Amino acid sequence: MGDVIVYDVVCGMKTAKGNWTSSTEYGGKTYYFCCDGCKGAFEKSPEYHLSNFAEDYPGVDPTPEG
């Protein structure tokens, strides 16, 4: 399923999973980023960015499996 839409929880960009170039593992899930800058910001303070994302996009799973 290359067309699964995933979010960059740092900047809010979204695109098909296959388009992302940066990713990292956190809490047993894989998160995707538009660039290494966003990836680095997430790795510094993942909970901060995850809670921000949850506020901006209520009910949205940024990294749906599939």
Which residues contribute to the site for Zn ion (CB under 5 A)? 8, 10-11, 34, 38
Q: How far is the CB of 59 from Zn ion (least distance, A)?
A: 21
Nearer of residues 11 and 25 to Zn ion, judged by Cβ: 11
Minimum Å gap between C-beta 27 and Zn ion is 19
Helix axes 46-56, 36-44, angle to 10 degrees: 110
* CB of residue 42 to Zn ion, shortest distance in Å: 9
Give the CB-side neighbour count of residue 2, counting CA atoms within 13 A. 3
- The closest alpha carbon to 63, from 1, 3, 4, belongs to 4
